[in-house]
């Protein structure tokens, strides 16, 4: 009997230790522990806001830029020069593999910039020499120089004013690394380790990573903002959303990322869990290739806008976990133009518009449907079928086409499509990050303007907004740009999906981030 | 001489694996560079630079030549995604898969053989039908569904097993062999946490073992039944019965020994196919093994990881099969 009891006791699942351990069930394995060289959200969550800080950061739960490693900064009148004053008491992490001998200073900042922008930097080619964010946001062209004024003062000169520059600096890829650690690794001929065994200044210190299994951090008692309450932070890598929820139910995690939409009603209905939801910084859209007939005709584009029943998609595809989109930027982004009226669902009007365009008999075309689930669109194929049915009502026979994700992107970049489902998740909360990347004339050349829509009026507005000095002016320009966009209808804006996190009620102090990051600096377990 | 000949014959097979794994993945549409860039669109300059740095700008025959010369030097290249050596990526995960596969196989044998015997001995009775239809269900059960069902029952409702992972995350074990059961018995671990980590690792093995072992168990049970039935009809069994031997002795001493031969052959072959089961089991139970790794590599078109992974697994399967061939040759002189 005793043996049986012992067996049962050893079999029972251990309760989560209350000693300020937080177990976060994440969705995947990080590629590296350095946001300079990674682009995926998983890697960013694992390193950006645990291990590192930047000169400026986003205020938790918002897209507002606030001082971080720099405790203050000045911007010149012409917005071409930024001077940052660094904090003097910032310590780099002490780990098994590195003990810093000095605090953070200007050399570390310069090193972190130079690794990405200076081809002669000894670390530039480590990991392949590709700094996708840095390069695709054209920081290499924008930053003219980074100079050290003194140990704690940095001057950055730009080649032209750019209003989104500060927001860009707060993005994960601008994290600050330790030069002293980098030099140590050069001496040990082990440069690759910089991205795998990280040293930063952030609230959590990296302990170990067991591949595809877990990442372990400990709270940084020397953190410049004060030690986090969590002593041990563990990322338990659980790719299956259903299993993540079961782990939450079984008490094996405190916090789960992206619960499956089908589990949401159960989680919401159970008092043992808390569900946080926030508007996602994303947009799903159907781009109409304006370089091809008949989508070069405004009437056709408007007809399609009136023909698609977006409310039905929100119900059937997003299970109501999204809102209808009327603008190319989500409502959480400043300068969102709420005055704009969306095209209503009105097949009759569509028929009239088609008649005006001389296409009263309809036409044959293709809709490319997303081959994989993305945060902004959980089921491209099903949405495609619904769109097909809607368009059939106005005489447009649309064939559904899809390719695997890599091919889909490659062909779409070349503009081979007619209508294509696409979407975007913002990086820094700046409207430029949507409007310029997705709709500028330059983006037709680089491929990310899938409507291949180059409208001079729109383009001038967003380019002027980039160099405008006052925020009020930028807001005005972006709002006007949204009006031009709506009138010319190069897309059917579809949805902004909602972001979810589920957690145990023991977890306190967490704020959902509009940028999709999970930040645990001020979180604690009750 | 014979052994040498047998092993020399391995090379064409391995060359074939290299060739297939290299070209098949390249015939599948999808560009690894585009996948890395995502919706971001791309600057043609960045695209070209990335392609060059990965060596994908070279003509395909030069890529294959470089790959082969690397293989001969024991270098399978670096992963496109993580930039780490394929050999280290593979062998840091392989122990997890091997550990789980061995447990699943032992589970399948320990349950499958007795169940098969039970069905054979009670041929045509309720037990026979019950066990064989049970094994048919076991055989046709989709692993992902079965795995989730096990989690719901044992972990969520009964709370007696953990949901997923290899060990309770609060235990910190420095990897040594990457076999968690061995690593959790290191002296330092025991002195710090006692046998807690070892018991936790065992508990974490229960559900994945059942999920992964169910299909092999069903196959073994059916094989054992038919093999036993064949043997039980043999003349020497009738002789044993006529001599008044007990049923127990007839079944276990005379019949089982001969019935086991085909079962062992099937078990050997099944070890290779366990990898397929590992892919699903590892995904459901967040088991950090090579099944999950290879699937992720295919999705991301991580060419070196797929080529390397397939080559190593292929080599291991070929080696195991060749060793079994040699073993037969040793055991059965008629084959010489």
- A430-487 pLDDT per residue, tens: 899 899 989 999 888 878 899 999 999 999 999 999 888 788 999 999 999 999 999 9
**Cα angle value B241/B244/B250 (rounded, 5°):** 50
- A270 touching chain B per CB within 8 A: no
Asked whether the beta carbons of residue A23 and residue B31 sit closer than 8 angstroms, the reply is no
Contact A353, A394 (CB under 8 A): no
Residues A295-313 have a mean pLDDT of 96
Output the pLDDT for position A5. Answer: 43
Residue B246, classified by CB atoms within 10 Å of its CB into exposed (0-12), middle (13-18) or buried (19+), is: exposed
Q: Residue B250 gets which letter from DSSP?
A: I
Contact A68, A57 (CB under 8 A): yes
Instruction: For chain B, state the CA radius of gyration.
Output: 24
Q: Does A375 have pLDDT greater than 70?
A: yes
Residues A74-92: pLDDT tens digits? 999 888 999 999 999 999 9
Of B28, B148, B163, the CB nearest to A250: B163
- Give A410 to chain B, closest Cα distance, Å: 6
pLDDT band of B1, cuts 50, 70, 90 = low
B contact test, residue of A447, A452, A453, A491 with most B CBs within 10 A? A447
Asked whether the beta carbons of residue B41 and residue A443 sit closer than 8 angstroms, the reply is yes
Asked whether the beta carbons of residue B43 and residue A136 sit closer than 8 angstroms, the reply is yes
For chain B, the farthest-separated pair of C-alpha atoms sits apart, in whole angstroms, at 87
Residue B27, classified by CB atoms within 10 Å of its CB into exposed (0-12), middle (13-18) or buried (19+), is: exposed
Asked whether the beta carbons of residue B170 and residue A214 sit closer than 8 angstroms, the reply is no
Nearest CA in chain A to B198: A10
Chain B contacts in chain A segment 199-238 (CB below 8 A)? 207-208, 210-214, 216, 232, 234, 236-238
Nearest CA in chain A to B81: A31
Output the pLDDT for position B318. Answer: 83
The helix or strand, by DSSP H or E, that contains position A113, with its residue range, turns out to be helix A106-117
Q: Does B196 have pLDDT greater than 80?
A: yes
Output the pLDDT for position B200. Answer: 94
Quick one: what percent of chain A has pLDDT higher than 90?
70
Contact B163, A242 (CB under 8 A): no
Contact A107, A148 (CB under 8 A): yes
Q: What are the residues whose beta carbons fall under 8 Å from the beta carbon of B103, sequence distance 6 or more?
A: B205, B208, B209, B213
Nearest CA in chain A to B203: A11
pLDDT band of A6, cuts 50, 70, 90 = very low
Q: Which residues pair with A365 in a beta bridge?
A: A398
Residues B331-336 have a mean pLDDT of 63
Q: Residue A87 gets which letter from DSSP?
A: P
Residues B253-270: pLDDT tens digits? 888 888 887 887 788 778
Residue A511's Cα: distance from chain center in Å?
16
- Residue among B105, B253, B99 nearest B167 (CA): B99
Output the pLDDT for position A392. Answer: 96
- A247 touching chain B per CB within 8 A: yes
In terms of average pLDDT, the best of A106-120, A255-269, B6-20, B308-322 is A106-120
Cβ count near B129 (within 10 Å): 12
B contact test, residue of A406, A407, A450 with most B CBs within 10 A? A406
Nearest CA in chain A to B147: A243
Nearest CA in chain B to A447: B41
- Residue among B229, B51, B36, B269 nearest B132 (CA): B229
Annotate A245-284 with b (16+ C-beta within 10 A) or e (fewer): bbbbbbbbbbbbbbbbbebbeebeeeeebbeeebbbbbbb
Residue B162, classified by CB atoms within 10 Å of its CB into exposed (0-12), middle (13-18) or buried (19+), is: buried
Annotate B93-110 with b (16+ C-beta within 10 A) or e (fewer): bbbbbbbbbebbbebbbe
pLDDT band of A13, cuts 50, 70, 90 = very low
Residue B15's Cα: distance from chain center in Å?
22
- Residue among A86, A92, A75 nearest A110 (CA): A86
Three-state SS letters, A426-490: CCCCCCHHHHHHHHCHHHHHHCCCCCCCCCHHHHHHHHHHHHCCCHHHHHHHHHHHHHHHHHHCC
Residues of B in contact with A243 (CB under 8 A): 148, 151, 163-164, 284-286
Output the pLDDT for position A43. Answer: 87
- Give B238 to chain A, closest Cα distance, Å: 44
Which residue reads 């998983």 in tokens?
A42
Contact B263, B63 (CB under 8 A): no
The helix or strand, by DSSP H or E, that contains position A208, with its residue range, turns out to be strand A204-210
Angle between helices B256-284 and B303-331 (to 10 degrees): 170
**What span, in angstroms and rounded, lies between the C-alpha atoms of A48 and A32?**
11
Q: Does A372 have pLDDT greater than 70?
A: yes
Q: Does A14 have pLDDT greater than 70?
A: no
Q: Residue A128 gets which letter from DSSP?
A: G
Of residues A504 and A515, more confidently modeled: A504
Of B34, B159, B199, the CB nearest to A250: B159
- Give A71 to chain B, closest Cα distance, Å: 32
Q: What are the residues whose beta carbons fall under 8 Å from the beta carbon of A168, sequence distance 6 or more?
A: A137, A139, A162, A174, A428, A430
Range of weakest confidence among A101-110, A393-402, A476-485, B44-53:
B44-53
The helix or strand, by DSSP H or E, that contains position B38, with its residue range, turns out to be none
User: Any long-range contacts for B19-28 (C-beta under 8 Å, 24+ apart)?
Assistant: B19/B64, B20/B310, B21/B306, B21/B307, B21/B310, B21/B311, B21/B314, B22/B63, B22/B64, B22/B67, B22/B307, B23/B64, B25/B298, B25/B301, B25/B303, B25/B306, B25/B307, B26/B60, B26/B303, B28/A404, B28/B301
Q: How many Cβ contacts (< 8 angstroms) between chains A and B?
A: 161
Of A21, A212, A423, the CB nearest to B288: A212
The helix or strand, by DSSP H or E, that contains position A126, with its residue range, turns out to be none
Output the pLDDT for position B331. Answer: 63
Nearest CA in chain A to B41: A448
Q: Does B299 have pLDDT greater than 80?
A: no
Residues A479-510: pLDDT tens digits? 999 999 999 999 999 999 998 899 999 999 99
pLDDT band of A16, cuts 50, 70, 90 = very low
Residue B160, classified by CB atoms within 10 Å of its CB into exposed (0-12), middle (13-18) or buried (19+), is: middle
Of A12, A17, A31, the CB nearest to B81: A31
Q: Does A1 have pLDDT greater than 50?
A: no
- A321 touching chain B per CB within 8 A: no
Residue A175's Cα: distance from chain center in Å?
16
pLDDT band of A12, cuts 50, 70, 90 = very low
Nearest CA in chain B to A412: B41
Residues of A in contact with B169 (CB under 8 A): 23, 214, 216, 234, 236, 252
Cβ count near A404 (within 10 Å): 16
Output the pLDDT for position B41. Answer: 54
The predicted model scores a pTM of 0.83
- Residue among A212, A236, A42, A13 nearest B178 (CA): A212
Range of weakest confidence among A199-213, B115-129, B286-300:
B286-300
Q: Does A7 have pLDDT greater than 70?
A: no
**What span, in angstroms and rounded, lies between the C-alpha atoms of A403 and A428?**
30
DSSP string, B135-177: HHHHHH--HHHHHHHHIIIIIIIS--S-SSSSS-TT-----SS
A contact test, residue of B55, B170, B177 with most A CBs within 10 A? B170
- Give A198 to chain B, closest Cα distance, Å: 15
- Residue among A361, A347, A354, A345 nearest A393 (CA): A347
**Cα angle value B46/B296/A247 (rounded, 5°):** 125
Range of weakest confidence among A313-322, A330-339, B313-322:
B313-322
- A130 touching chain B per CB within 8 A: yes
- A266 touching chain B per CB within 8 A: no
- Give B41 to chain A, closest Cα distance, Å: 4
Asked whether the beta carbons of residue A136 and residue B148 sit closer than 8 angstroms, the reply is no
- Give B125 to chain A, closest Cα distance, Å: 35
Quick one: what percent of chain B has pLDDT higher than 90?
34
Residues of A in contact with B36 (CB under 8 A): 39, 132
Of B31, B164, B292, the CB nearest to A243: B164
A contact test, residue of B25, B47, B83 with most A CBs within 10 A? B83
Please state, rounded to an integer, the average pLDDT across all residues of chain A: 90
The total number of residues written for chain A in this structure = 526
Chain B contacts in chain A segment 20-59 (CB below 8 A)? 21, 23, 29, 31-32, 39
- Give A73 to chain B, closest Cα distance, Å: 30
- A160 touching chain B per CB within 8 A: no
Range of weakest confidence among A322-331, A471-480, B76-85, B149-158:
B76-85
Of B34, B92, B168, the CB nearest to A14: B168
């Amino acid at each position: 009997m005793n043996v049986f009891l012992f067996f049962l006791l050893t079999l029972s699942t251990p309760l989560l230790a209350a000693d300020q351990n937080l177990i976060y069930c994440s969705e995947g394995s990080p590629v590296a522990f350095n946001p300079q060289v990674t682009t995926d959200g998983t890697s960013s969550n694992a390193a950006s806001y645990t291990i590192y800080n930047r000169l400026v950061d986003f205020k938790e739960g918002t897209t507002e830029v606030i001082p971080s490693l720099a405790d203050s900064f000045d911007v010149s009148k012409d917005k071409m020069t930024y001077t940052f004053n660094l904090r003097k008491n910032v310590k780099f992490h002490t780990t098994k593999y590195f003990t810093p001998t000095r605090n953070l200073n200007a050399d570390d900042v310069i090193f972190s910039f130079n690794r990405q922008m200076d081809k002669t930097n000894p670390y530039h080619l480590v990991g392949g020499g590709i700094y996708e964010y840095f390069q695709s946001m054209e920081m290499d062209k924008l930053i003219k120089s980074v100079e050290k004024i003194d140990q704690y003062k940095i001057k950055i000169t730009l080649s032209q004013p750019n209003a989104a520059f500060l927001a860009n600096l707060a993005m994960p890829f601008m994290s600050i690394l330790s030069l002293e650690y980098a030099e140590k690794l050069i001496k040990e001929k082990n440069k690759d380790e910089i991205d795998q065994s990280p040293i930063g200044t952030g609230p959590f210190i990296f302990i170990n990573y067991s591949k595809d299994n877990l990442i372990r951090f400990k709270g940084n008692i020397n953190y410049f903002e004060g030690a986090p309450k969590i002593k041990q932070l563990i990322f338990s890598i659980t790719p299956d959303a259903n299993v993540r929820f079961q782990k939450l139910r079984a008490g094996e995690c405190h916090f789960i990322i992206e619960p499956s939409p089908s589990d949401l009603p159960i989680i919401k209905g159970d008092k043992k869990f808390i569900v946080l939801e926030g508007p996602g910084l994303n947009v799903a859209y159907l781009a109409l290739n304006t370089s091809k007939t008949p989508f070069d005709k405004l009437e056709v584009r408007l007809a399609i806008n009136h023909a698609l029943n977006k409310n039905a998609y929100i119900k059937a595809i997003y299970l109501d976990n999204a809102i209808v989109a009327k603008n190319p930027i989500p409502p959480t982004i400043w300068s969102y133009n709420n005055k704009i009226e969306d095209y209503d669902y009105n097949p009759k009007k569509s028929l009239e518009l088609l008649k005006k365009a001389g296409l009263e008999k309809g036409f044959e075309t293709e809709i490319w449907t997303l081959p994989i689930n993305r945060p902004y669109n959980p089921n491209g194929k099903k949405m495609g079928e619904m769109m097909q049915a809607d368009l059939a009502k106005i005489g447009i026979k649309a064939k559904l086409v899809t390719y695997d994700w890599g091919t889909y992107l490659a062909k779409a970049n070349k503009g081979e499509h007619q209508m294509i489902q696409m979407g975007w998740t913002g990086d820094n909360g700046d409207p430029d990050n949507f409007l310029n990347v997705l709709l500028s004339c330059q983006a037709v050349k680089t491929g990310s303007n899938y409507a291949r829509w180059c409208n001079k009026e729109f383009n001038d507005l967003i380019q002027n907004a980039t160099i405008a000095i006052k925020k009020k002016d930028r807001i005005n320009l972006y709002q006007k740009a949204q009006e031009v966009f709506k009138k010319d209808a190069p897309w059917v804006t579809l949805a902004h999906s909602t972001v979810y996190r589920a957690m145990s009620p023991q977890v306190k102090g967490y704020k959902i981030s509009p940028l999709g990051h999970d930040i645990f600096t001020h979180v604690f377990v009750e | 001489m014979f052994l040498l000949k047998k092993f020399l014959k391995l090379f064409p097979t391995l060359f074939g694996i290299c060739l297939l794994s290299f070209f098949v993945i390249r015939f599948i549409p999808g560009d690894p560079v585009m996948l890395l860039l995502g919706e971001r669109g791309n600057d043609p300059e960045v695209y070209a630079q990335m392609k060059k740095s990965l060596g994908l700008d070279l003509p395909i025959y030069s890529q294959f030549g470089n790959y082969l010369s690397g293989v001969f030097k024991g270098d399978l290249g670096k992963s496109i995604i993580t930039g780490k050596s394929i050999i280290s990526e593979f062998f840091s995960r392989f122990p997890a898969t091997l550990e789980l596969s061995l447990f699943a196989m032992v589970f399948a044998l320990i349950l499958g053989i007795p169940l098969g015997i039970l069905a054979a001995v009670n041929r045509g009775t309720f037990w026979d039908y019950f066990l064989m239809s049970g094994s048919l269900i076991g055989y046709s059960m989709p692993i992902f569904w079965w795995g989730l069902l096990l989690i719901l029952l044992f972990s969520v409702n009964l709370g007696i097993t953990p949901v997923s992972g290899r060990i309770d995350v609060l235990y910190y074990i420095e990897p040594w062999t990457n076999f968690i059961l061995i690593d959790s018995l290191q002296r330092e671990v025991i002195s710090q946490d006692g046998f807690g980590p070892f018991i936790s690792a065992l508990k974490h093995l229960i559900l994945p073992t059942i999920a992964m072992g169910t299909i092999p168990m069903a196959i073994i049970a059916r094989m054992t039944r038919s093999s036993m039935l064949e043997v039980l009809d043999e003349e020497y069994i009738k002789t044993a019965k006529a001599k008044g031997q007990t049923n127990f002795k007839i079944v276990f001493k005379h019949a089982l020994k001969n019935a086991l031969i085909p079962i062992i052959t099937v078990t050997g072959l099944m070890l290779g196919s366990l990898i397929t089961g590992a892919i699903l089991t590892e995904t459901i139970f967040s088991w950090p093994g090579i099944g999950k790794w290879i699937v992720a590599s295919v999705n991301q078109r991580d060419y070196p990881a797929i080529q390397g992974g397939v080559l190593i697994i292929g080599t291991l399967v070929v080696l195991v099969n060749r060793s079994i061939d040699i073993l037969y040759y040793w055991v059965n002189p008629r084959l010489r």
